Amino acid sequence: MGIDLAQAAIAPCLSRANAAGLLSTLDPPMTTAPTSISQYGDRAIAQASVEPLEKWPNPSENVYTIHLEHPEFTALCPRSGYPDFGTIVVDYCPGPWVVELKAFKLYVNSFRDQRVSHERVANAIADRLWHELQPHGLRVIGDYTRRGGVKTVITVKKGDCAAFEPYTANLL
């Protein structure tokens, strides 16, 4: 019986995140690490789910918006275990911080093996970005690919969102 490298790598991160109160809003399945680290990027993705996001100081005092789209989102349906696909859209008016783009990508990718509902994903992303970036306004949209003829678009708003352009859902 050997040491599970994934669990060994992620254990300190889970402990720090739990101590900081970052795991309190997450479902238990979202806090588990992969059972093995065998592919490029697995460790980075596992760590991104629990470590604080890399962020940079806002370079301007101007009022402006940042628009991010992650069109390759995947997670597992909590009921069936089948994959759900979609686009995660984030709009925010930065406060003191802006998110580093690779850190954002890795964090969103950390949901790929998690059994989690559409609603839970959008709210978890919004809560984490709101907590860590402290923006003036934030909107997170989970625009999911149709399954069984049903289209789902989840929108979570926090703070002042008046500056955001209306979102047009993907037709798929």
The yes-or-no answer on residue 77 being catalytic is: yes
Task: Out of 84, 91, 113, 127, pick the active-site residue.
Answer: 84
The yes-or-no answer on residue 84 being catalytic is: yes
d(CA 168, CA 149): 19
d(CA 124, CA 129): 9
- DSSP codes, 70-92: EEEEEEE-TTT--EEEEEEEEEE
125: helix, strand or coil: helix
Task: Out of 4, 27, 42, 77, pick the active-site residue.
Answer: 77
Asked if 115 contacts 76 with a C-beta cutoff of 8 angstroms, the reply is yes
Sign of dihedral through CA atoms 107, 113, 114, 118? positive
- The residues annotated with a catalytic role in the active site are 77, 84
